[in-house]
Amino acid sequence: MALTAADVLIEGIQDWGVDVVFGLPGDGINGIMEALRKRRDQVRFIQVRHEEAAALMACGYAKFTGKLGVCLATSGPGGIHLLNGLYDAALDGQPVVAITGMAYHDLIGTHTQQDVALDQLFADVAKFNQRIMGPSHVENVTHLACRTALAYRGVAHLTFPVDIQEMDAGAYRSKRNIKHHTSDVYARSARLPAEDELANAADLLNAGKKVAILAGRGALRATDELEQTADRLAAPIVKALLSRWGWSVIAPAPCRRSCPCSPERPSADFSSRRRSG
């Protein structure tokens, strides 16, 4: 059986490690629900009682797994109901992809049933926000939505006209739309602070007498470096809620041997730990 445009969407989010989708079925997303049904042994669909709960659950899932959260709602009011949960994700900096249905592509703007321009409605909450224009458009925007949500720690939104969902994925594409020209490779930011900023930070740490570290979500990809810093400073690590699964101990061994409150605390001399630019 030929792939549909909705099949391409679901396979696209699978490429980014998605195996759970939170949502509520509706007739504006029938093609997407069928694509999920065909992959029910690979992608778990968790049905909620209200779309707001789906968005909140996707946000919570992203917070506590570190993975991409995905929520799904039908056209019109179903998509509107996602907004509370999506603002939670946006304000907490969590990667969530919201997928919504839309009216038949040739009836948009004609006052048809549930004719809401969800792409315009989501413009404020989403860092990536696109209306799917045809079957050959799906692969490109799906990869970009997932990459943007993960790289920029926020919401991405795709709204999908209901009739396009069931179209043949091999339908016409423009000559410039090269097949598979987008990728599912995540590129992590490698930005470094300026050398003088690092030196100032080292001076502040070295001058501290009772240093404690409050580590949040941003330190999750630098756990080894953080623990080395704590050892050097004999400083306890206090973990914020979203980083609590990043370390197995609260205080490193040197801190347990010599509390920062103790006058016997060894000299930190953090200057040797400065990174080169």
| Res. 222 pLDDT band, cuts 50 70 90 | confident
> What pLDDT does residue 249 have?
46
Average of per-residue pLDDT across 253-269 = 44
> What pLDDT does residue 60 have?
96
Q: pLDDT per residue over 162-219, tens digit each?
A: 999 999 988 778 878 778 777 777 766 667 788 898 899 889 998 888 899 988 877 8
Q: pLDDT per residue over 38-94, tens digit each?
A: 999 999 999 999 999 999 999 999 998 989 999 999 999 999 999 999 999 999 999
- Four-CA torsion 227, 228, 234, 235, nearest 10 degrees: -40
Which tokens belong to 265? 């605390």
Q: pLDDT per residue over 227-247, tens digit each?
A: 898 888 889 988 877 665 555
List, in order, residues 6 or more apart from 95 with CB less than 8 Å away.
Answer: 62, 68, 69, 89, 149, 150, 153, 154, 156
As a whole number of Å, the CA-based R_g of the chain is: 23
- How far apart CA 158 and CA 131 sit, in angstroms, is 6
CATH 3.40.50.970 boundaries in the chain: 5-165
Query: Could you say which DSSP state residue 266 is in?
Result: P
* Cα–Cα–Cα angle for 60, 61, 67, rounded to 5 degrees: 130
Average of per-residue pLDDT across 101-122 = 94
* Cα–Cα–Cα angle for 232, 248, 262, rounded to 5 degrees: 40
- Determine contact, residues 75/105, Cβ cutoff 8 Å: no
**Cα first-last separation, the chain:** 54
Which tokens belong to 182? 């987008």
Q: Global pTM?
A: 0.77
**Average pLDDT taken over every residue of the chain:** 86
> What pLDDT does residue 189 have?
65
Instruction: Provide the CATH number for the domain formed by 5-165 in this structure.
Output: 3.40.50.970
